[in-house]
Amino acid sequence: MTRLGERIRSMDEGIGRVNQIIPEMPATETRLCRLLLIVGDRLQRDLEAIVTPYRINHSEFTTLMILYSRPDGSSTPGELCELATQGATNMTRIANALLKRGLITRQSGATDRRQVIIRITAAGRRFAQKVLPPMFPRIAEAFSGFNVGERSELRRLLGKLAANLDDLDSGVTP
Amino acid sequence: MTRLGERIRSMDEGIGRVNQIIPEMPATETRLCRLLLIVGDRLQRDLEAIVTPYRINHSEFTTLMILYSRPDGSSTPGELCELATQGATNMTRIANALLKRGLITRQSGATDRRQVIIRITAAGRRFAQKVLPPMFPRIAEAFSGFNVGERSELRRLLGKLAANLDDLDSGVTP
DNA sequence: TTATGTTGTTTCACTGGTGAATCATGAGCC
DNA sequence: GGCTCATGATTCACCAGTGAAACAACATAA
SS3 string of chain B?
A: CCCHHHHHHHHHHHHHHHHHHCCCCCHHHHHHHHHHHHHHHHHHHHHHHHHHHHCCCHHHHHHHHHHHCCCCCEECHHHHHHHHCCCHHHHHHHHHHHHHCCCEEEEECCCCCCCEEEEECHHHHHHHHHHCHHHHHHHHHHCCCCCHHHHHHHHHHHHHHHHHHHHHHCCCCC
Per residue in B2-36, pLDDT (tens digit) is: 799 999 999 999 999 999 999 999 999 999 999 99
- Between helix A148-169 and helix B148-169 the angle, nearest 10°, is 110
Q: What percent of chain A has pLDDT over 90?
A: 90
Paired sense of beta strands A74-75 and A116-120, if any: antiparallel
Q: Given pLDDT bands bounded at 50, 70 and 90, which one contains residue B94?
A: very high
Report pLDDT for A164. 96
pLDDT score of B107 more than 70: yes
**How many angstroms separate the CA of residue A89 from the nearest CA in chain B?**
15
What value does the mean pLDDT take over residues B121-149?
97
Sort out which chain B residues have CB atoms less than 8 A from A136's CB and list them. Answer: 24-26
pLDDT score of B174 more than 50: no
Mutate to test the interface with B, among A82, A141, A165, A168 (most CBs of B within 10 A): A165
Report pLDDT for A173. 38
Q: Given pLDDT bands bounded at 50, 70 and 90, which one contains residue A1?
A: low
Report pLDDT for A81. 97
Q: What percent of chain A has pLDDT over 70?
A: 97
Q: Output the CA torsion sign for A149, B5, A87, B46.
A: negative
Which of A29, A136, A142 lies at the smallest CB-CB distance from B140? A29
Per residue in A24-58, pLDDT (tens digit) is: 999 999 999 999 999 999 999 999 999 999 999 99
B77 touches strand C (CB under 7 A): yes
Say if residues B31 and B11 touch (Cβ distance below 8 Å).
Answer: yes
Residue A36 near chain B (CB below 8 Å): yes
Q: Given pLDDT bands bounded at 50, 70 and 90, which one contains residue A172?
A: very low
Contact B35 A163 (CB under 8 A): no
Q: Given pLDDT bands bounded at 50, 70 and 90, which one contains residue B171?
A: low
Per residue in A99-145, pLDDT (tens digit) is: 999 999 999 877 888 999 999 999 999 999 999 999 999 999 999 99
Contact A46 B168 (CB under 8 A): yes
pLDDT score of B134 more than 70: yes
Average pLDDT, chain B: 94
pLDDT score of B173 more than 60: no
Say if residues A81 and A87 touch (Cβ distance below 8 Å).
Answer: yes
Per residue in A145-166, pLDDT (tens digit) is: 999 999 999 999 999 999 999 9
Residue B122 near chain A (CB below 8 Å): no
A139 touches strand D (CB under 7 A): no
